[in-house]
Amino acid sequence: MNEGVVWLTIFVLSVFVGIEVISKVSSTLHTPLMSGANAIHGIILLGAILVTGSTHSTVALVVGLVAIVLATVNMVGGFVVTDRMLQMFVRKKPASEKEGAR
């Protein structure tokens, strides 16, 4: 199979999975969900590490390090801030359990 088609297959299937997994979200959770999804694309850090780790020029190294700092802020900050938001929902255990039983 053509390698490009393999990538296209992964892409198309991921689109459907991405829509499907969040299709039942209540509007209460829109903000944390957006924030969590925002943190996930911080995985660009992985790409930043890969390109920076193979550069040989000084300029490219500096640009790569800037990219790493930015990507880390996105990823770490995103997950921490989402967790902070969600802590507030979780604190009232009995209420959320009642919600689940309904």
Partner 1 sequence: MPTWVQVVYLICAVGFILALKGLSGPKTARRGNLIGAAAAVVGCALPFIYVDHLEHVPLILGAIAVGTAGGVFGARKVQMTQMPQMVALFNGVGGGAAALVALLELNHMLDVQAALDALGGPQVDAYGWFVYAATAFTIFVGSVSFAGSLITFAKLQELMTSRPVVFPGLPVAFGGLLLGGIVLSVLTVTSASIGIGIGLCLVGLLFGVLLVLPVGGADVPIVISLLNAFTGLTVAAGGYVLSNTLLLVGGTLVGASGTFLTLLMARAMGRSVANILFGALKGGSTLGAGVASDRPVRSAGPEDVAILLGYADRVIIVPGYGLAVAQAQHTLRELVDVLGERGTKVDYAIHPVAGRMPGHMNVLLAEAQVPYEQLVEMDHINGEFKNTDVVLVVGANDVVNPAAKTTPGAPIYGMPILNADEAKQVVFMKRSMRPGFAGIENELLFDPKTTLLFGDAKESLGKLLNAVKAL
Say if CB 63 and CB 48 are below 8 A apart: no
Q: Is 92 in the site for partner 1 (CB under 8 A)?
A: yes
Q: How far is the CB of 97 from partner 1 (least distance, A)?
A: 8
DSSP-H helix ranges across the chain: 3-22, 30-40, 44-52, 58-72, 78-90, 93-101
Q: Is 99 in the site for partner 1 (CB under 8 A)?
A: yes
Q: How far is CA 2 from CA 10, 53, 88, in A?
A: 13, 29, 49
Q: How far is the CB of 1 from partner 1 (least distance, A)?
A: 15
Q: How far is the CB of 57 from partner 1 (least distance, A)?
A: 8
Q: Is 11 in the site for partner 1 (CB under 8 A)?
A: yes
Q: Is 2 in the site for partner 1 (CB under 8 A)?
A: no
Contacts to partner 1 from residues 12-71, by CB under 8 A = 14-19, 21-56, 60-61, 63-71
Say if CB 64 and CB 94 are below 8 A apart: no
